[in-house]
Amino acid sequence: MSKRRISETISPSSPDPSPVSAQLPAPAPAPAPAPKRRRMRRQRHSQYLSIDPPSPEDYYPSSPITPTTPVSSPIPSTPSSPPQQPSQSSPPPPPRTPRYRHILPKPPPTSTSPTKTTPQPQPQKKTPNSKIHPHLPLILAHFRTPLHPLVSSTTGHQHPDFPRSLLQYNLLTSEQLDRLAVHFHQVDPPVRGTFWYPVRIVQPWIRRDGGAKGYVADEEVGLEVKRRRFGRFIGLRGCEEILPSGSLKKRRGRRRLRRGRLGRRKSMGKKKKKKKKKKKKKKKKKKKKEKRQRRCWRGWSGSGLRRW
Protein backbone atom coordinates (compact mmCIF):
# COMPACT_ATOMS: atom_id res chain seq x y z
CA MET A 1 0.00 0.00 0.00
CA SER A 2 1.41 3.35 -1.00
CA LYS A 3 1.86 6.43 1.21
CA ARG A 4 -0.84 8.32 -0.69
CA ARG A 5 -3.44 5.68 0.11
CA ILE A 6 -2.47 5.71 3.78
CA SER A 7 -2.83 9.50 4.07
CA GLU A 8 -6.26 9.39 2.51
CA THR A 9 -7.50 6.73 4.95
CA ILE A 10 -6.08 8.68 7.96
CA SER A 11 -7.34 12.15 6.86
CA PRO A 12 -10.07 13.67 9.15
CA SER A 13 -12.29 14.34 6.18
CA SER A 14 -13.11 10.66 5.87
CA PRO A 15 -15.99 9.54 8.14
CA ASP A 16 -15.44 7.28 11.09
CA PRO A 17 -15.74 3.59 10.21
CA SER A 18 -18.87 1.99 11.61
CA PRO A 19 -19.16 -1.63 12.64
CA VAL A 20 -21.47 -2.32 9.76
CA SER A 21 -19.09 -0.91 7.28
CA ALA A 22 -16.24 -2.79 8.84
CA GLN A 23 -17.96 -6.07 8.25
CA LEU A 24 -18.71 -5.32 4.62
CA PRO A 25 -15.89 -5.58 2.18
CA ALA A 26 -14.38 -2.24 1.32
CA PRO A 27 -15.11 -1.12 -2.17
CA ALA A 28 -12.38 -0.17 -4.47
CA PRO A 29 -11.44 3.44 -3.80
CA ALA A 30 -12.02 5.82 -6.66
CA PRO A 31 -9.19 8.09 -7.70
CA ALA A 32 -9.44 11.55 -6.04
CA PRO A 33 -9.82 14.59 -8.29
CA ALA A 34 -6.92 16.85 -9.00
CA PRO A 35 -8.05 19.79 -6.87
CA LYS A 36 -8.34 17.57 -3.78
CA ARG A 37 -4.77 16.42 -4.16
CA ARG A 38 -3.59 20.01 -4.33
CA ARG A 39 -5.60 20.92 -1.22
CA MET A 40 -4.08 18.08 0.71
CA ARG A 41 -0.65 19.15 -0.34
CA ARG A 42 -1.33 22.66 0.92
CA GLN A 43 -2.62 21.36 4.24
CA ARG A 44 0.43 19.22 4.54
CA HIS A 45 2.90 21.99 3.97
CA SER A 46 0.82 24.77 5.64
CA GLN A 47 3.20 25.10 8.51
CA TYR A 48 5.93 26.09 6.12
CA LEU A 49 3.90 28.25 3.66
CA SER A 50 1.68 30.24 6.09
CA ILE A 51 2.09 34.04 5.86
CA ASP A 52 -0.52 35.01 8.46
CA PRO A 53 0.82 37.05 11.44
CA PRO A 54 0.85 35.41 14.84
CA SER A 55 -2.09 35.98 17.17
CA PRO A 56 -1.82 38.81 19.72
CA GLU A 57 -2.14 36.35 22.58
CA ASP A 58 1.44 35.30 21.98
CA TYR A 59 2.70 38.84 22.74
CA TYR A 60 0.12 40.45 25.07
CA PRO A 61 -1.64 38.95 28.08
CA SER A 62 -5.34 38.44 27.85
CA SER A 63 -7.36 41.36 29.27
CA PRO A 64 -10.71 41.03 30.99
CA ILE A 65 -13.62 41.44 28.63
CA THR A 66 -15.54 44.67 29.23
CA PRO A 67 -19.18 45.02 28.29
CA THR A 68 -19.65 47.08 25.13
CA THR A 69 -22.42 49.62 24.79
CA PRO A 70 -24.69 49.25 21.82
CA VAL A 71 -24.10 51.85 19.13
CA SER A 72 -27.12 53.30 17.44
CA SER A 73 -26.99 53.01 13.72
CA PRO A 74 -26.79 56.34 11.85
CA ILE A 75 -29.30 55.13 9.29
CA PRO A 76 -32.78 56.25 10.41
CA SER A 77 -35.51 53.71 10.52
CA THR A 78 -38.22 53.76 7.94
CA PRO A 79 -41.23 55.79 9.06
CA SER A 80 -44.27 53.80 9.92
CA SER A 81 -46.73 56.43 8.66
CA PRO A 82 -46.73 57.53 5.01
CA PRO A 83 -45.32 61.06 4.21
CA GLN A 84 -47.77 63.91 4.35
CA GLN A 85 -48.84 65.21 1.02
CA PRO A 86 -48.56 69.00 0.42
CA SER A 87 -51.73 70.98 0.88
CA GLN A 88 -53.55 72.30 -2.11
CA SER A 89 -53.07 75.95 -1.06
CA SER A 90 -49.25 75.74 -1.08
CA PRO A 91 -47.58 76.00 -4.51
CA PRO A 92 -46.18 72.81 -5.97
CA PRO A 93 -42.46 72.24 -5.50
CA PRO A 94 -40.24 73.14 -8.44
CA PRO A 95 -39.31 70.29 -10.74
CA ARG A 96 -35.99 68.71 -9.93
CA THR A 97 -33.45 68.64 -12.65
CA PRO A 98 -31.05 65.73 -12.88
CA ARG A 99 -27.65 66.32 -11.37
CA TYR A 100 -24.65 67.18 -13.54
CA ARG A 101 -26.87 68.15 -16.40
CA HIS A 102 -25.47 71.68 -16.74
CA ILE A 103 -21.93 72.69 -15.98
CA LEU A 104 -22.20 75.84 -13.89
CA PRO A 105 -19.39 78.43 -14.04
CA LYS A 106 -17.12 78.73 -11.05
CA PRO A 107 -17.83 81.69 -8.80
CA PRO A 108 -15.09 84.36 -8.64
CA PRO A 109 -12.66 84.02 -5.73
CA THR A 110 -13.74 86.12 -2.77
CA SER A 111 -10.94 88.11 -1.18
CA THR A 112 -10.86 88.46 2.59
CA SER A 113 -9.45 92.02 2.44
CA PRO A 114 -12.12 94.77 2.49
CA THR A 115 -12.64 96.25 -0.94
CA LYS A 116 -12.63 100.03 -1.28
CA THR A 117 -15.79 101.24 -2.90
CA THR A 118 -15.21 104.16 -5.24
CA PRO A 119 -17.84 106.91 -4.82
CA GLN A 120 -19.89 107.24 -7.95
CA PRO A 121 -20.89 110.74 -9.05
CA GLN A 122 -24.53 111.35 -8.32
CA PRO A 123 -26.58 112.92 -11.08
CA GLN A 124 -27.21 116.59 -10.39
CA LYS A 125 -30.79 117.55 -9.99
CA LYS A 126 -31.96 120.16 -12.42
CA THR A 127 -33.18 123.10 -10.40
CA PRO A 128 -35.81 125.32 -11.95
CA ASN A 129 -34.64 128.65 -13.27
CA SER A 130 -34.97 131.10 -10.38
CA LYS A 131 -35.79 134.75 -10.90
CA ILE A 132 -33.10 135.90 -8.41
CA HIS A 133 -30.45 138.09 -10.03
CA PRO A 134 -26.88 136.71 -9.68
CA HIS A 135 -25.60 140.07 -8.34
CA LEU A 136 -28.14 140.19 -5.50
CA PRO A 137 -25.81 138.63 -2.83
CA LEU A 138 -23.08 141.19 -3.65
CA ILE A 139 -25.55 144.06 -3.38
CA LEU A 140 -26.83 142.82 -0.01
CA ALA A 141 -23.27 142.45 1.29
CA HIS A 142 -22.56 146.02 0.14
CA PHE A 143 -25.63 147.35 1.97
CA ARG A 144 -24.50 145.58 5.18
CA THR A 145 -21.34 147.73 5.37
CA PRO A 146 -21.34 149.41 8.81
CA LEU A 147 -20.92 153.17 9.26
CA HIS A 148 -19.23 154.80 12.25
CA PRO A 149 -21.35 157.60 13.72
CA LEU A 150 -20.16 161.20 13.90
CA VAL A 151 -20.32 163.38 16.99
CA SER A 152 -21.39 167.01 17.25
CA SER A 153 -18.45 169.42 17.40
CA THR A 154 -20.02 171.46 20.22
CA THR A 155 -21.95 168.97 22.39
CA GLY A 156 -20.07 165.72 21.63
CA HIS A 157 -23.33 163.73 21.33
CA GLN A 158 -24.55 161.41 18.59
CA HIS A 159 -27.80 161.89 16.74
CA PRO A 160 -30.36 159.04 16.90
CA ASP A 161 -31.14 159.39 13.18
CA PHE A 162 -27.53 158.81 12.12
CA PRO A 163 -27.38 155.72 9.82
CA ARG A 164 -25.56 152.63 11.11
CA SER A 165 -25.17 150.98 7.69
CA LEU A 166 -25.35 151.83 4.01
CA LEU A 167 -28.88 150.43 3.86
CA GLN A 168 -30.08 152.85 6.55
CA TYR A 169 -28.24 155.67 4.75
CA ASN A 170 -30.19 154.95 1.56
CA LEU A 171 -33.46 154.87 3.53
CA LEU A 172 -33.06 158.31 5.13
CA THR A 173 -36.03 160.65 4.69
CA SER A 174 -35.94 164.38 3.93
CA GLU A 175 -36.94 165.33 7.50
CA GLN A 176 -34.18 163.14 8.99
CA LEU A 177 -31.59 164.75 6.71
CA ASP A 178 -32.78 168.21 7.79
CA ARG A 179 -32.40 167.31 11.49
CA LEU A 180 -28.93 165.82 10.88
CA ALA A 181 -27.78 168.96 9.03
CA VAL A 182 -28.93 171.17 11.94
CA HIS A 183 -27.29 168.84 14.50
CA PHE A 184 -23.93 169.06 12.70
CA HIS A 185 -24.19 172.88 12.17
CA GLN A 186 -24.39 172.66 8.36
CA VAL A 187 -26.58 175.71 7.90
CA ASP A 188 -26.53 178.98 5.98
CA PRO A 189 -25.15 181.39 7.14
CA PRO A 190 -22.47 179.28 8.87
CA VAL A 191 -21.95 179.35 12.63
CA ARG A 192 -18.91 178.77 14.81
CA GLY A 193 -19.24 174.95 14.88
CA THR A 194 -19.64 174.69 11.09
CA PHE A 195 -15.88 174.80 10.44
CA TRP A 196 -14.92 172.28 13.15
CA TYR A 197 -15.46 169.24 10.89
CA PRO A 198 -13.04 167.66 8.39
CA VAL A 199 -15.49 168.34 5.55
CA ARG A 200 -18.47 170.66 5.44
CA ILE A 201 -21.47 170.93 3.16
CA VAL A 202 -20.57 173.52 0.55
CA GLN A 203 -24.14 174.37 -0.39
CA PRO A 204 -26.28 173.85 2.74
CA TRP A 205 -30.04 173.62 2.12
CA ILE A 206 -30.90 174.73 5.67
CA ARG A 207 -31.27 178.48 6.12
CA ARG A 208 -31.72 180.47 9.27
CA ASP A 209 -35.09 182.14 9.65
CA GLY A 210 -35.76 185.03 11.95
CA GLY A 211 -39.19 183.64 12.91
CA ALA A 212 -40.16 181.15 15.59
CA LYS A 213 -39.01 178.12 13.55
CA GLY A 214 -35.34 179.07 13.52
CA TYR A 215 -34.27 177.06 10.42
CA VAL A 216 -36.06 176.44 7.14
CA ALA A 217 -35.16 173.89 4.43
CA ASP A 218 -34.93 174.87 0.80
CA GLU A 219 -37.86 173.33 -1.05
CA GLU A 220 -36.06 173.34 -4.39
CA VAL A 221 -33.44 170.85 -3.17
CA GLY A 222 -34.70 167.27 -3.60
CA LEU A 223 -34.21 164.21 -1.42
CA GLU A 224 -31.52 162.68 -3.66
CA VAL A 225 -29.46 165.89 -3.62
CA LYS A 226 -29.71 166.14 0.17
CA ARG A 227 -28.64 162.52 0.60
CA ARG A 228 -25.63 162.98 -1.68
CA ARG A 229 -24.49 166.15 0.08
CA PHE A 230 -24.81 164.51 3.50
CA GLY A 231 -22.95 161.39 2.25
CA ARG A 232 -20.07 163.56 1.07
CA PHE A 233 -20.10 165.26 4.49
CA ILE A 234 -19.72 161.95 6.41
CA GLY A 235 -16.97 160.71 4.04
CA LEU A 236 -18.70 158.41 1.53
CA ARG A 237 -17.29 158.06 -1.97
CA GLY A 238 -19.26 158.55 -5.18
CA CYS A 239 -21.63 161.14 -3.69
CA GLU A 240 -21.04 163.83 -6.29
CA GLU A 241 -24.11 165.69 -7.45
CA ILE A 242 -25.64 164.47 -10.72
CA LEU A 243 -26.50 167.50 -12.81
CA PRO A 244 -29.21 167.35 -15.49
CA SER A 245 -28.16 166.61 -19.05
CA GLY A 246 -29.05 170.11 -20.33
CA SER A 247 -26.88 171.91 -17.80
CA LEU A 248 -23.96 169.58 -18.53
CA LYS A 249 -24.20 170.32 -22.24
CA LYS A 250 -24.35 174.02 -21.56
CA ARG A 251 -21.28 173.88 -19.35
CA ARG A 252 -19.34 171.84 -21.87
CA GLY A 253 -20.29 174.27 -24.64
CA ARG A 254 -19.17 177.21 -22.57
CA ARG A 255 -15.85 175.56 -21.87
CA ARG A 256 -15.31 174.91 -25.56
CA LEU A 257 -16.15 178.50 -26.40
CA ARG A 258 -13.73 179.75 -23.81
CA ARG A 259 -10.99 177.53 -25.12
CA GLY A 260 -11.70 178.67 -28.69
CA ARG A 261 -11.63 182.29 -27.74
CA LEU A 262 -8.42 181.92 -25.84
CA GLY A 263 -6.86 180.14 -28.80
CA ARG A 264 -7.97 182.82 -31.16
CA ARG A 265 -6.68 185.52 -28.91
CA LYS A 266 -3.35 183.83 -28.70
CA SER A 267 -3.13 183.38 -32.44
CA MET A 268 -4.20 186.98 -33.06
CA GLY A 269 -1.65 188.22 -30.57
CA LYS A 270 1.13 186.31 -32.31
CA LYS A 271 0.19 187.76 -35.69
CA LYS A 272 0.06 191.26 -34.30
CA LYS A 273 3.44 190.85 -32.74
CA LYS A 274 4.89 189.68 -36.03
CA LYS A 275 3.39 192.64 -37.85
CA LYS A 276 4.74 195.04 -35.27
CA LYS A 277 8.19 193.54 -35.62
CA LYS A 278 8.05 193.90 -39.40
CA LYS A 279 6.95 197.51 -39.12
CA LYS A 280 9.76 198.25 -36.71
CA LYS A 281 12.26 196.69 -39.09
CA LYS A 282 10.94 198.73 -42.00
CA LYS A 283 11.12 201.91 -39.97
CA LYS A 284 14.68 201.15 -38.99
CA LYS A 285 15.63 200.55 -42.62
CA LYS A 286 14.02 203.80 -43.69
CA LYS A 287 15.82 205.70 -40.97
CA LYS A 288 19.13 204.18 -42.02
CA LYS A 289 18.52 205.13 -45.66
CA GLU A 290 17.57 208.66 -44.73
CA LYS A 291 20.69 209.05 -42.64
CA ARG A 292 22.87 207.83 -45.49
CA GLN A 293 21.18 210.11 -47.98
CA ARG A 294 21.56 213.08 -45.69
CA ARG A 295 25.24 212.39 -45.20
CA CYS A 296 25.88 212.03 -48.91
CA TRP A 297 23.91 215.15 -49.79
CA ARG A 298 25.66 217.21 -47.23
CA GLY A 299 29.11 216.16 -48.39
CA TRP A 300 28.39 216.58 -52.08
CA SER A 301 26.56 219.87 -51.84
CA GLY A 302 29.04 221.41 -49.46
CA SER A 303 32.06 220.42 -51.42
CA GLY A 304 30.64 221.58 -54.80
CA LEU A 305 29.47 224.89 -53.60
CA ARG A 306 32.76 225.64 -52.05
CA ARG A 307 34.60 224.72 -55.21
CA TRP A 308 32.37 226.74 -57.39
* Lowest model confidence (mean pLDDT) among 24-33, 159-168, 213-222, 233-242: 24-33
Check: CB of residue 185 under 8 Å from CB of residue 194. yes
Q: What is the pLDDT of residue 113?
A: 57
Is residue 214 domain-resident? yes
d(CA 103, CA 97): 13
Contact 215, 209 (CB under 8 A): yes
**119 located within any domain:** no
Whether residue 39 lies inside any domain: the answer is no
30 assigned to some structural domain: no
| Host domain of residue 206 | 136-234
Sign of CA dihedral 179, 183, 184, 188: positive
Count of structural domains, the chain: 1
What pLDDT band is residue 79 in, cutting at 50, 70 and 90?
low
* Furthest C-alpha separation in the chain: 247
Q: What is the pLDDT of residues 167-219, one digit of tens each?
A: 999 999 999 999 999 999 998 888 888 889 988 888 888 888 766 567 888 88
In a domain, 201, yes or no: yes
More confident residue, 5 or 110: 110
What distance in Å separates the CA atoms of residue 308 and residue 306, rounded to the nearest whole number? 5
When the pLDDT of each residue in the chain is averaged and rounded to a whole number, the result is 71
Instruction: Assess if residue 277 is contained within a domain.
Output: no
Residue 289 domain-assigned (yes or no): no
Task: Cite the beta strand spans of the chain per DSSP E.
Answer: 206-208, 215-217
**Residue 81 is assigned to a structural domain of this protein:** no
Q: Torsions phi, psi of 207, nearest 5?
A: -120, 145
